[in-house]
């Protein structure tokens, strides 16, 4: 297409024929410029047409700088096309990752971690052990409180302590040479020496 079609010109009846006569000679140059920067010929055509329309509707167009105005406009439009394509690509990646089922390696690792955590939970003592196992069985906080005949507040407190101990056990196992995780504010650090000599098993300390 070597010139704007009649329907396109009719969209902006306030644009004078003189303005179109000033702009249309740049159309082919704009098309080539956009095509050199975009993979799609249709995107390049759209950018060239959009640049011409913007110039046609620009109220204070400097006729001495029409070429520079059109060039900068079509280049900005090409950048917008690339940005839009990148956004679509990232969105498709996120959707693909969300829909991708776990592979066999991930399944094995998750199962191993779950088994390890259950072993650590079994080594907890008292109320912490009861609460964490109740939650592992699928009980809600309210259900666990009713089952253990304690308050919901007591369940939440014991659950917080149990999770803190399991995090410490996890860090010691996964990062034996790394710095220990700092205990959260308001919680005492775990006792190092267990009275029954089980201090070599993470997460078995008595408070």
What is d(CA 127, CA 158) in angstroms, rounded to the nearest whole number? 6
pTM for the predicted model, two decimal places: 0.42
Q: Please check the confidence at residue 186 and state whether its pLDDT lies above 70.
A: no
Between residues 189 and 60, the one the model is more confident about: 60
Q: What's the whole-number mean pLDDT along residues 22-36?
A: 94
Residue 3 per-residue DSSP state: S
Tokens matching residue 137: 């069985």
Decide if 190 contacts 120 (C-beta within 8 A): no
Q: Which of 106-110, 134-138, 200-204 has the lowest mean pLDDT?
A: 200-204
Tokens matching residue 97: 């990752």
- Alpha carbons within 13 angstroms on the beta-carbon side of residue 5 total 3
CATH topology of domain 104-207: Arc Repressor Mutant, subunit A (1.10.10)
- Cite the residue boundaries of each domain of the chain with CATH code 1.10.10.10: 104-207
Q: What's the whole-number mean pLDDT along residues 65-78?
A: 94
What is d(CA 115, CA 120) in angstroms, rounded to the nearest whole number? 9
User: Quick one: pLDDT at residue 179?
Assistant: 56
User: Where residue 200 falls among pLDDT bands split at 50, 70, 90?
Assistant: very low
Decide if 128 contacts 165 (C-beta within 8 A): yes
User: Quick one: pLDDT at residue 154?
Assistant: 92
């Amino acid at each position: 297409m070597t010139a704007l079609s009649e329907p396109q010109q009719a969209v902006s009846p306030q644009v004078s024929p003189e303005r179109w006569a000033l702009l249309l000679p740049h159309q082919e140059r704009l098309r080539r410029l956009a095509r050199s920067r975009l993979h799609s010929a249709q995107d390049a055509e759209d950018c060239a047409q959009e640049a011409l329309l913007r110039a046609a509707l620009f109220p204070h167009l400097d006729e001495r700088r029409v070429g520079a105005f059109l060039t900068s406009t079509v280049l900005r439009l090409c950048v917008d096309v690339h940005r839009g394509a990148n956004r679509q690509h990232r969105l498709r990646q996120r959707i693909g990752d969300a829909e991708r089922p776990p592979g066999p390696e991930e399944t094995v690792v998750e199962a191993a971690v779950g088994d390890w955590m259950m072993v650590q939970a079994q080594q907890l003592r008292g109320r912490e052990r009861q609460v964490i196992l109740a939650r592992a069985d699928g009980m809600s906080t309210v259900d666990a409180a009713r089952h253990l005949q304690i308050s919901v507040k007591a369940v939440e407190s014991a659950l917080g302590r149990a999770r803190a101990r399991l995090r410490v056990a996890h860090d010691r196992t996964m990062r034996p040479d790394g710095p220990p995780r700092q205990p959260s504010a308001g919680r005492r650090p775990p006792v190092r020496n267990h009275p029954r000599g089980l201090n070599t098993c993470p997460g078995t300390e008595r408070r």
